[in-house]
Amino acid sequence: MIKRLLLLFVFVCSITNSFSQGVSKAAVVEASKKAIAIETENQKLELQKIWSQKVVTQGAFEMKFAYRILGEKPADGRSLYISLHGGGNTSSAANDQQWKNQINLYTPKEGVYLAPRAPTNTWNLWHEDHIDDMFAEIVKAAVLNEGVNPNKVYLLGYSAGGDGLFQLAPRMADYWAAASMMAGHPGDASALSLRNLPFAIYMGGADSAYKRNELAKVWAEKLDSLQTKNPGSYVHDVHIYEGLPHWMSRRDTNAIQWMASFTRKALPSKVAWHQDDRHHQQFYWLGTPLPETGKEAVVSITKNTITIERNDNAQLYIYLNDQLLNLDKKIKVVLNGKTVYNNKADRKLALIQTTAKRLDLDLVFSARLLIKDGKVIEQ
């Protein structure tokens, strides 16, 4: 407690001094580290409890998990693989069996391989509203307790787990380094948000239940088209094994090595965001205080110019830091081909403290712009 209060006192003093002198890039670097340290201290006991008890709760829901630690820890931190079991709308015993199978289904050469047990036994067990926050807590717990690198977190899922992955990969794309879907159904998922997330599909060519094999081909074409229109983005790897059924004779294990070749793009130069019916208020360096299902935004940053190619949101936040652009210079914002802002954005330490709650240093921001009614407002 004394250590926590001391850290807080030092941080508050730095904020007071910086407000009177203006906030420099160097001050932001130090403040970001301090903010992460404070938030780590504040969340440490809960995250240690989650990891030691192997369970995370969200309201009335409880998610148990099991994990295996494989290989030597690399200098840049361990990898984390979150592997989603199948089952779904069946008995608790059947889903338990699927979970136990998932625990040993894949064996990465290195990393923390973690298989959670879905909190419910519903058809959409992996993409109900509570899942996103639970996974966010698991990632933080793994980072704190096992030295996982936030840029090496991977998501994969089989059957009903693949259903969930189709939904979770795009709506939480800013968490994952790569994602692999095995034998699942896409439902109403949108591929737009996969712009910066390498995405694999593994499917048996004879897996015709719910037209899974046909829809896998549709998605392959969709991702091919997106990649053609956006060179260098929408990286994907699709395997449809002709004649193989729902279980693909372990061909899907090849996904592990493929995923491991990628690290997360925490600050991509262009973000495409489709708002799922499970709302999120932030996605990479975009955000909104008023999320609405189906709203989309496509925004890019080139040097110190922010170009808003599309925005359906009534209010859109653009979070900034010195890794994205030069905050010591003027920032130009172009909306509908027109320059609507050309000014410097002040660094604010209060925003650093707020965005540090995720315990992800790469996604700590010191400035923010609000796009509203065709105008830009510095926040």
For residue 305, CA distances in Å to 151, 308, 332, 364 come to 26, 10, 5, 20
What is the rounded CA–CA span in Å between residue 124 and residue 95? 13
What is the rounded CA–CA span in Å between residue 268 and residue 47? 28
What is the rounded CA–CA span in Å between residue 133 and residue 123? 19
What is the rounded CA–CA span in Å between residue 156 and residue 361? 24
Q: What is the pLDDT along the chain (379 residues), one digit of tens a residue?
A: 445 544 444 444 444 444 434 689 999 999 999 999 999 999 999 999 999 999 999 999 999 999 999 999 999 999 999 999 999 999 999 999 999 999 999 999 999 999 999 999 999 999 999 999 999 999 999 999 999 999 999 999 999 999 999 999 999 999 999 999 999 999 999 999 999 999 999 999 999 999 999 999 999 999 999 999 999 999 999 999 999 999 999 999 999 999 999 999 999 999 999 999 999 999 999 999 999 999 999 999 999 999 999 999 999 999 999 999 999 999 999 999 999 999 999 999 999 999 999 999 999 999 999 999 999 998 8
Structure pTM? 0.93
If we measure between CA atoms, which residue out of 367, 358, 301 comes closest to residue 153?
A: 358
Those residues with Cβ within 8 angstroms of residue 148's Cβ, 6 or more apart along the chain or in another chain: 77, 78, 79, 80, 111, 112, 139, 142
Those residues with Cβ within 8 angstroms of residue 39's Cβ, 6 or more apart along the chain or in another chain: 356, 357, 359
What is the rounded CA–CA span in Å between residue 19 and residue 61? 43
pLDDT of residue 123: 93
What is the rounded CA–CA span in Å between residue 290 and residue 6? 36
pLDDT of residue 379: 84
Those residues with Cβ within 8 angstroms of residue 268's Cβ, 6 or more apart along the chain or in another chain: 195, 196, 284
Beta bridge pairs of residue 67: 114
What share of the chain in percent tops pLDDT 90? 93
The answer to whether 68 and 113 have CB atoms below 8 angstroms apart is yes
pLDDT of residue 232: 96
The answer to whether 178 and 108 have CB atoms below 8 angstroms apart is no
**C-alpha count within 13 angstroms, C-beta hemisphere, residue 166:** 25
What is the rounded CA–CA span in Å between residue 55 and residue 116? 9
If we measure between CA atoms, which residue out of 276, 282, 291, 273 comes closest to residue 355?
A: 282
pLDDT of residue 22: 64
The answer to whether 125 and 187 have CB atoms below 8 angstroms apart is no
Across the chain, what does the average pLDDT equal?
94
- Residue-wise pLDDT for 31-65, tens only, equals 999 999 999 999 999 999 999 999 999 999 999 99
